[in-house]
Copies of this chain bind each other. A is one copy, B any other.
Amino acid sequence: MRAVVMHAPRDVRVEDVADPVVQKPTDAIIRLAATCICGSDLWPYRGTDEVSEPLRMGHEYCGTVEEVGADVHDIEVGDFVIGSFFASDNTCEICRAGYQTSCIHREVLGTSGGAQAQRMRVPLADGTLVATPGQPDPELIPSLLAASDVLGTGWFGAVAAEAGPGKTVAVIGDGAVGLCAVLAAKQLGAERVIISSRHADRQALARELGATDVLSERGEAFITKVKELTDGLGAHSAVEAVGTHESMHQAIGATRAGGHVGFVGVLHDVAITGEDIFMTHVHLHGGPAPVRRFLPELVQLIWDRKIDPGKVFDLTLPLDGAAEGYQAMDQRRATKVLLTV
């Protein structure tokens, strides 16, 4: 089958590789309907994360179950399924508390074959995968794929930030996750959703997804502006969807005393001091989104056409065009690239 392999920074190739096989009785093999390129895939692409050996790429997926192991009971061959970037048993105490990405049996997907491929192996299939109510219409595929990561991650950011009725929510980051956090904050009932963006297309999409205020300010100027909009107090909630030291401090600074910061950008070189969190009185919570917690609800919202997170994909290419997709995201010509399989 065809699969994306990164050989070195900026060296992405689509190659013939062996088909995945069931290795454990709890595995499933799925044929992908679509996959995509993640902002976090740019860390190795740009050389920020080391590429010491050829890497199979991709961790976002939806598709049809082709084969299941002997111990898979809830997922059947032929089901259309969506899963998250960590496989989880969904039965341990940590999963039951809603933290499937910290499951005591979790496995990182991609280590034995990434999702940017025609087929993939999904461990712990019963715990990891959620089946749609039926075979989806083709126009639902982008949104179902978005649920696999960017929607689930933005949603967790908004939940961790306790977005809800009567709340003002500030979103830091106008990438696909930030835009999905806007959608989530709106769905969760937030009164006001503020996002920082300087890209006309992303500004327009942010408004379409529910942003009430689109600011061009960044850093301290953003914080000042958010305070101006909130009687000097700051937002009730902030979603950090970038992962840098600056964006984390922008999120903390924009949040009022007693407010909540949900951080979902993969943190790189972030340092938080006692002063940052002691006198500010903010709540901090985040990490790798337990997307599985939200998948049943998100799949239903998409199925019922109540949300359309597939809008974050602004470039669609065939799997064999993956190299062009990485380049487009690296150069910020695309927010999020969907690869048809």
Contacts and interface: CB of A to CB of B under 8 A. Distances in A.
B287 A285 contact: no
Contacts of A231: 93
Interface stretch (A8-16, A195-203, A273-281, A311-319): A273-281
Contacts of A257: 94, 97, 99, 102
A268 interface: yes
A248 B198 CA distance: 38
Q: On chain A, which size bracket covers the interface?
A: 35 or more
Interface string A258-290: 100001001111111111011111111111100
Contact of A271 (B243, B263, B272): B272
B288 A279 contact: yes
A296 interface: no
B279 A274 contact: no
Contacts of A233: 93-94, 104
A277 B273 contact: no
A274 B267 contact: yes
Contacts of A263: 277-278
A98 interface: yes
A101 interface: yes
A248 B97 CA distance: 24
A293 to B, nearest CB: 10
B288 A101 contact: no
A336 interface: no
B258 A98 contact: yes
Number of copies: 2
A256 interface: yes
Contacts of A94: 233, 256-258
A231 B96 CA distance: 15
B281 A277 contact: no
A266 B274 CA distance: 8
A278 B287 contact: yes
A252 to B, nearest CB: 11
Nearest to A97: B258
A280 to B, nearest CB: 7
Contacts of A279: 102, 287-288
A61 to B, nearest CB: 22
B283 A285 contact: yes
Contacts of A278: 263, 266-267, 286-288
A268 B274 CA distance: 7
A101 B281 contact: yes
A149 to B, nearest CB: 16
26 contacts: A93-B233, A94-B233, A94-B258, A97-B258, A99-B258, A101-B281, A102-B281, A104-B233, A243-B274, A248-B274, A267-B273, A267-B274, A267-B275, A269-B274, A270-B273, A270-B274, A271-B273, A272-B273, A277-B287, A279-B287, A279-B288, A280-B287, A281-B287, A282-B285, A283-B284, A284-B285
Interface of A: 93-94, 97-99, 101-102, 104, 231-233, 243, 248, 256-258, 263, 266-275, 277-288
Which 4 interchain pairs have the tightest Cβ spacing?
A: A267-B274, A102-B257, A270-B274, A99-B258
